[in-house]
Structure formats: structure tokens, C-alpha cells
Chains A and B, each alone.
Chain A
Amino acid sequence: MYTILKAEELTANIFLMVVKAPRVAKSCLPGQFVIVRTDEESERIPLTICDYDREEGTITIVFQVVGAGTLLMSKLKKGDAFHDFVGPLGKPSELITDDIEITKKKRIVFIAGGVGTAPVYPQVKWLKEHGINADVIVGAKSKDILILEKEMEAVAGNLYVTTDDGSYGRSGMVTKCLQDLVDEGKQYDVCVAIGPMIMMKFVCKLTKELNLPTVVSMNPIMVDGTGMCGACRLSVGDKIKFACVDGPEFDGHLINFDEAMKRQAIYKTAEGEAYLAAKEGKTHHGGCANC
């Protein structure tokens, strides 16, 4: 069992938890992920690592309630425990494993969308600790669902917050913010974009035009997370890659996002039914022709 030392609702439907998992905390690096199961019956849910403390033996995860599995997770309190917590899985971010002297010469911009702010944070923090200041664009639909702003501010070179509805910071999508920064004279050598697939797709469309190499972190459907099932396969250029063992980070300009987004919808009906059942009880059987 993996005890929860801290559980906090950051904003509506987005939760942060600090979990005791010494083996994971000892060996993980930014960019890697874990798979958690709430109880003996739960499905396996992959989550990118948001922070780690090697001395305390803890991992911080941040997740948004999107279905029955994450809804169940959100009910856990401080002192409760996850039944299973395995990792670190996947490869660390290349910015972290590359030669540090080369990375130091790069002008880096991170683009974080929504709950994707969480996996961006440890990378920016690691770079800061190694004397590299990276710019960060954080996008959210509106001010009230912005997360980790203070934490990010402490580690980012420049932090640009933008909201879709203009309720806070700059106004518009992250792509507009990046375009504006470039128009304002900012120059970057590499972009790391993490967020919803649709956001990463449009960031990559823009950065292709800007000729700005872009890394994305993919979050397709997974089962085991160790290369066994192939559910997370993606078309990357002309190759098939498994996000769990070959990624989760890939060259965003080579990813077939349209295919990846269609693949994400495979279990949408089943997931939707399970979510409604978890929230409202078994009232949605289908077949009634009323909905």
C-alpha cells in the first residue's frame, strides 16, 4: 500500500496528492510517469510525475477528474493509501538526459495547457536547479482553473499566463501567446508542449511554421505501461512507437495527432457510462431511447 501524505483540491476537479513510494522517488526523473490503482478492483491509471522528494521517498501527482477512475481517486484523503503505485515508467525528458552543456546553450520555452502544467513543473524545476532558466507559457480556460502558478513562478525564467476568456494574464490560447512572444522579438531553440492532445496538435502546427523544434508528452490509452499491450501505439513519422516505453515524449512534428485523438476515443462510450454510474448510480443502462 502507498500512503497519501497530502491530498488537496487545487481547483474545481483538479487534485494534488503526495504519495509515499520510496522506490519510485529514488529513481525517477522529470518526464517519467507512474501508474496507480485506487483499490483492488480499479483500473490502471497512468499519470505523469509532478514532483518528487528523494529523501522523503514521496511522489507528487496531479490529476483531473475525467472519469470513474479519477473520480474514485479524488475521494481519497490524507492517510488513505493507493492499492498500487508503480514506476517510474517511460523515458525521462531528453532535456534532462542530454549533455547539460548543450542544454545550457538552448533557449527553451515550455507550453503547459490545463492539468499539463503539472508534468511541465518538474522539468522547469530541474533546469532551474541546473542553472538554466526556461520561459513558461501556462494556458487555462479561465482564471479559476489555473494551477501551480506560484510554484511555476518560482522556477521559470519568465512566466506567461494566458486564459482563453481573458479573465487573467494574457488573453487567448497558448498558440496566440507563443506567436505574440515571437512577434515581440523572443527567440527560442526548443519548445516543450504538454497538455490536451488538441492543444499539442495546434502548438505543433504553429511551431512547424516557426521552424521551432517541439517536444510533446503523449498520454494515450495504456494498460500495463511496460510495453506489453501495445494499446498506446502511435504513428511517429513512418514508425510505430509505444508511448509507454519509447516515450512518453516525442518529436511533436512527427506525431500523427489526428490518429492519436481518434484512438483516444476507443472506449469513450464505456468510459462515459462508467463515469455516470459512479457519479449517479446505475441509472444509465442505455437502450431507453430517452437520452
Chain B
Amino acid sequence: MDVLKKVPVREQEPKVRATNFEEVCLGYNAEEAMAEAERCLNCKNAQCVKGCPVSINIPEFIHEVKEGNFDKAYDVISESSALPAVCGRVCPQESQCEGKCIRGIKGEPVSIGKLERFVADTACANGRKPQPASEKKGKKVAIIGSGPAGLTCAGDLAKLGYDVTIFEALHQAGGVLVYGIPEFRLPKERVVAKEIENVKSLGVKIETNVVIGKSITIDELMEEEGFDAVFIGSGAGLPRFMGIPGENANGVFSANEYLTRSNLMKAFDSSSATPIMHAKKVVVVGGGNVAMDAARTALRLGAETHIVYRRSEEELPARAEEVHHAKEEGIIFDLLRNPVEILHDENDWVTGIRLIKMELGEPDESGRRSPVEVAGSEYDIEADCVIMALGTSPNPLIASTTKGLDTNKRRCIVAEEEFGQTSKEGVFAGGDAVTGAATVILAMGAGKAAAKGIDNYLSNK
């Protein structure tokens, strides 16, 4: 075995998986996991932990894996993370824990994500659950949104003995884990539902079909229903469009709509009551994880699928693994291109898209080289479906119905970073509702920080 390289992880063959919705990555078995764990140097001053937004004690859990103590490894992770089976699958490890791994200086870093996933899946198979609090605090906390931020905050507060209720607007708990990330990357029944069951086993109640700001306001929750503190983890749900001609034509969808139909409503399954467009040729606009998810979903539904992104490959914001998988499966990347118009027939059905070539200019505020149009370089390509994956912004519903809750120019809720305190007493916030669209693990980190903030606040009250 080459100690400089990761133990390879088994995956479904690209050609096979391009036609199904089964999980792409098959994960490690015990033998592979123990072999990979051997590669960990067990650093005293572990850099990987510093790279983890929820500060999992990575060397310790890997040490337990090495010894074959998988349940103990799970207990170590559970101290810091409520959703290890999710994080092992969707965290951008290359820029977090694995990005800091000393092994990575000369060779490949330890495959921390795959080990975390192995530990979580094994614990689930063994029926191991996180431990509920032994003492109750007798105080009520409301959590708005059951995505990664809300579940994490709820789990941590329940472990501390608080009486926690999560309010979810949709009919199913999980937030972006359920409506956004596809089955082939994050299985819903086997992984997400199990993680949510674990949070519930800590005593957390989940009330679905409650739209905070419509069904009831935050002020009413605190004044009429006796909640002592509130955490807002409502995410960034509003899709962006480009504002180009033809964008309302039939066959143009936001990635949110396309993915919600496929993931939450199970439209990828032909027996689903909710329809989804089965297109011949799909153009997905955007270069993030959501764009990759939409493109790979379209591919699996039988379409030739293109990704149109205005910068070059280097700037693609998606996780490296997603881009790699997308390419393997046959997604065509049209880079340094930008749509200028969506073409349609007289009945408003999409027939194509007009693109303009781009070149990279000077770096912008984000440090990325900004794309500039090449004059006169427009050309048309055929397509019957266009999916816009241009990012999302927070829903103004909660801010606009809560007295004294400040937002910034981008409509994000203003919350202090260390503990998530907002401008309103007793109200904390975190995740995409505060930062704008980001990652699952950053939302979890914010949920965790806010749980500490809420515990401090209620302990001193």
C-alpha cells in the first residue's frame, strides 16, 4: 500500500450511475476504513480540527477507527456533530479538515470525510443513538427551519436539557438536505431520515407545515406560546434569475424548482404524483454545487446536459468531487460562456439559448478574475430546457414580520458571529439566513455557535 495515497473508495461505474439515482459513492468497509485510519499521524497540534467548522476531535475518532472501536469513534464525533452521515458526504473536505491535513503536504491527505461517513453509517446500522440529556432545564426554545443549522442547534440544545421544538414550513423535515441535495449524493431514507430520527431521539419535537411569519410570528411564539429563546435557521430560499429575454418561457426553471420536484416530491420516480420535465437537451447555468446537482439530475432523467459557466474551470465554486463526478458521467462543460437570451417558439417552449463568449479580466472583490464579454461572439445552441442555478437569497418573510430584527443590504439577518445573537433579545440566527447561500457544514457551525449563545443567554436570565 502506498502510504502517500488514500485508500481508494468504491464508487458506482460512471456509465451505470448516469442512469440511476442510487448513491454514487459506496463508502469504505471496515477493512478499508481501518487501513485508511492507519495513515493518520495523530498530530498533537491537529490542524484538521482547526479546519472543521464544528471542531470534531478528528485524530481521536480516527484513532478509535484504527483500533476497530467504531461505536466509540461515533461517540467522539457525536460530541461535536449532529449529522455525521450527512457531513461525511457533502462537506467540502478539500478546503476544510483535509485541506489542513499534514499528510497532504507530501501526498494525499487522510480521507477524513470518508472515515466520518463510515463511522456514522456503521453506528446507524448498529442502531447506536446519541445520548439524551439526563436533566431538564425547564426552558423552551423554538427553532425555525429544520435544515442543517436548525437540526444542529436543536440537537445541541436538547443535549443540554432544553425543551426544543423545530418549526418547518414544508411537509417534511430536513431543509436543503431533503429538497436540495439529490438522492444520488445524499440518500433520503437511509441517511437523512435516520439523522433526523437521531435528533428526535434527543427529545426534539418537529412541527411541519408551519410558515413562521405567516402561520405565526416570532413575537407570538415568545409572547403567546412561551418560548424563552428562538433560533432562526430559515436558509436562503429565494432563487435568482438573470433578467434576460425569454426567461419565463416554458422549460426554464430555477434549480430550486427542478431539484425540489425531483428530491422532495420524488418526481425522478415515474410513479410520483408530481411531474418534472423530461427534456432532451438541458443547459444548466451556473458553476456551484447546486448547478452540478441539477445537471446530474437532468442527465439521469435522460438528457444531454451542458453546464454553462461564465468563468473558467479553476473558478468553479463547486466541490472538486462533484465536478469530477459530473465530468465522469458525461456532463459537457461550456466554460467562459454566458447566456444573453433564451430562445423559444411561438408557443413559448424553449428551443435554444444564445451564449456569448467571455474572457477573464482583472480579479474582482472576491479575488476571482472577473469575466468580460467578448464583443460580437454570440452564438446559439439548441436546448429544450434551461435551469438557472445562480445562487439564492434569504426569504424576507421572517425579517419583515418580526419587530426589531435587523437585516443588511442583501436581506440577510444581522447576527453576531460568535454566538449568533441578533438585534432582538432572545433571538439568535445562523446559516444561510445570515450569510447568504453557503455550505451545510458552515450552517451547522453557526447552529452550534448559536446553541452556545442561547445556553449562555438562558443560563443568565
Contacts and interface: CB of A to CB of B under 8 A. Distances in A.
Contacts of A266: 250-251, 277
Interface string A239-274: 010000100000000000001001101110011001
A44 B171 contact: yes
Interface stretch (A49-57, A104-112, A230-238): A230-238
A27 B216 contact: yes
B210 A43 contact: no
Contacts of B250: 262-263, 265-266
B248 A42 contact: no
Nearest to A23: B215
Interface centre among A224, A229, A263 (most CB of B within 10 A): A229
A34 B170 CA distance: 12
A172 interface: no
A251 B347 CA distance: 25
A88 B251 CA distance: 29
Contact of B253 (A68, A228, A231, A274): A231
B209 A223 contact: no
Contacts of A69: 273
Contact of B275 (A27, A42, A262, A271): A271
A36 B239 CA distance: 23
Contact of B273 (A27, A259, A262, A274): A274
Interface string B253-281: 11011001100010000001111010000
A4 B395 CA distance: 32
Interface centre among B169, B211, B254, B395 (most CB of A within 10 A): B211
A203 to B, nearest CB: 22
B238 A27 contact: no
B209 A43 contact: no
A223 B257 contact: yes
A44 B208 CA distance: 14
Contacts of A26: 216
A19 B241 CA distance: 37
Nearest to A40: B171
Interface centre among A83, A89, A230, A274 (most CB of B within 10 A): A230
B416 interface: no
Given A24-B215, A228-B256, A85 B237 contact: no
Contacts of B274: 43-44, 223
Given A263-B250, A266-B250, A226 B273 contact: no
A267 B169 contact: no
B26 interface: no
Contacts of A262: 250, 347-348
Contacts of A226: 169, 211, 237, 395, 397
B409 interface: no
Nearest to A228: B237
Contacts of B265: 43-44, 223
Interface residues of A, number: 39
Nearest to A85: B209
Interface in B212-239: 214-216, 237-239
B215 A86 contact: yes
B239 A229 contact: yes
Contact of B214 (A27, A231, A267): A27
B237 A240 contact: no
A44 B274 CA distance: 8
Contact of A263 (B209, B237, B248): B248
A231 B114 CA distance: 37
A87 B215 contact: yes
Interface in A84-103: 84-89
A274 B270 CA distance: 10
Given A86-B169, A274-B275, A230 B211 contact: no
A158 B351 CA distance: 50
Interface string A213-235: 00000000001101111110101
B7 to A, nearest CB: 40
A227 B214 contact: no
Nearest to A26: B216
A278 to B, nearest CB: 9
A134 B62 CA distance: 73
A263 to B, nearest CB: 6
A224 B260 contact: yes
Contacts of A43: 265, 272-274
Contact of B241 (A83, A230, A267): A230
A86 B248 contact: no
Contacts of A201: none
Nearest to A72: B273
Interface centre among B210, B243, B257 (most CB of A within 10 A): B257
Nearest to B259: A229
A235 B248 contact: yes
27 contacts: A23-B215, A43-B272, A43-B274, A83-B171, A223-B260, A224-B170, A226-B397, A227-B237, A227-B395, A228-B238, A228-B239, A228-B395, A229-B239, A229-B257, A230-B254, A231-B253, A231-B254, A233-B248, A235-B248, A240-B241, A240-B243, A240-B247, A240-B248, A262-B347, A265-B250, A266-B251, A266-B277
Interface of B: 169-171, 179, 208-211, 214-216, 237-239, 241, 243, 247-248, 250-251, 253-254, 256-257, 260-261, 265, 272-275, 277, 347-348, 395, 397
3 closest A-B pairs by CB = A270-B275, A229-B257, A86-B209
Given A85-B209, A230-B253, A245-B395, 14 more contacts: A69-B273, A86-B209, A224-B179, A226-B395, A227-B237, A227-B395, A228-B238, A228-B239, A228-B260, A229-B257, A245-B397, A263-B248, A266-B250, A274-B275
